[in-house]
Amino acid sequence: MHRRAKAVLGVVLLVPLVGAAAYDARTAGTLSGARTGLTIIAPASPGGGWDTLARQLQATMREEGVVTNPQVVNVPGAAGTIGLAQLQEMDGQSDVLMVTGTVMVGGVEINHSPVGIDDVTPIARTTDDYEIIVVPADSPLESVDDLVAAWQDDPGAVAVGGGSLGGTDQLLAAQLALAVDVPATDVNYIAYSGGGEAIAALLSGASDVGISGYNEFADQIEAGRLRALAVSAPEPQPELGIPTLYELGYDVHQGNWRGVLAPPGLTDEETQELEDIITETLATPTWQQTLETNQWVDAELVGDDFAAFVDDEVARIRQILEEAGL
């Protein structure tokens, strides 16, 4: 077993479990390990999108009594592929979920990960949201047209900051570059480990443009330190007050879906239990408020439908990366 896998297993085994005395009425008499002590792995550092989803799921499960003692463990690195490799080694553990998403699909390709999402158990897609392109408030780039013109003049002169290599942020930059006949490999893309680093780079002048999810930049936009140029949604988002790339004349969109996986080697009954936990969680009033607060799109997809969706995403993202030469 990989040394890091042993480390995270140790963390999981140390998670305290509560007894049958603490339970919700919906599970009385049928308590399972997952219902009484579920571990949710966020394969990233605290504070980012995956960590936020993990902790929002944890809070909702606890608040609504779906799981009595959910815990979150962070296992960061390599666009989630370190966590994915560790999950694959937790064969048969039915009380573990791990957050996944678009970034991990690209990370598997970019990092040539020996473990893919098809090596574990897909459980459900939970949410979707969209990328925004931002610049510092005093940037000479007033619009996406200005960014495109700068790229066409000298793409290497514009530092674009975002998340992991092969992740959603880089995928959007690559697609926009390809749409305006700029070689994606010429784009000066700088990968940061989290939204905090990307924001610091923008505010310090280390990067000229930032790409990430809306929530990563929302506070800085509201404070007037950053300015949003476009959102990557396929349809207008009037609640954001940011034009889509489509509305600006660019045939580009990029979603940032997120979901959860489980270890391999589960029985049908264990898999169904985890699917039921997620379905129940997403149906609660607390979760509906979470969607609104975080500007997330409800994108629930469970079981075989989710597995088929992931297969399609792997093929789509692989094609984008190949066309971009990444």
| pLDDT for 2 | 37
| pLDDT for 15 | 35
| pLDDT for 303 | 95
Sorted by sequence, the CB contacts under 8 Å of residue 199 that are 6+ apart come out as 210, 216, 217, 220, 226
Contact between 106 and 79 under an 8 Å Cβ cutoff? The reply is yes
Q: Using CA atoms, how far apart are residues 42 and 247, in angstroms rounded to an integer?
A: 34
Share of the chain residues as helix, strand and coil, in percent rounded to the nearest 5: 45, 20, 35
> Taking the complete model, does pTM exceed 0.85, yes or no?
no
**For 202-246, what is each residue's pLDDT tens digit?**
999 999 999 998 888 999 999 999 999 999 999 998 988 999 999
**For 258-295, what is each residue's pLDDT tens digit?**
999 999 999 999 999 999 999 999 999 999 999 999 88
| pLDDT for 32 | 58
Residue 231's DSSP bridge partners are: 132, 244
| pLDDT for 1 | 38
| pLDDT for 192 | 85
- Provide the CATH number for the domain formed by 3-128+257-324 in this structure: 3.40.190.150
CATH topology match: 3-128+257-324 vs 131-231? yes
Q: Which parts of the chain sit beneath pLDDT 70?
A: 1-32, 194
| pLDDT for 326 | 83
Please provide the DSSP assignment of 5-68 as one string: HHHHHHHHHHS----TTS--GGGTT---HHHHS-EEEESS-TTSHHHHHHHHHHHHHHHHTSSS
Q: Using CA atoms, how far apart are residues 317 and 105, in angstroms rounded to an integer?
A: 7
| pLDDT for 28 | 37
Please name the fold of domain 131-231: D-Maltodextrin-Binding Protein; domain 2 (3.40.190)
| pLDDT for 88 | 97
| Percent share of the chain, pLDDT over 90 | 77
Distances (CA, A) of 240 to 129, 245, 258, 292, 299: 12, 14, 20, 12, 19
Question: What φ, ψ does residue 271 adopt, rounded to 5°?
Answer: -65, -45
| pLDDT for 14 | 33
For the chain, the structural domain boundaries read 3-128+257-324, 131-231
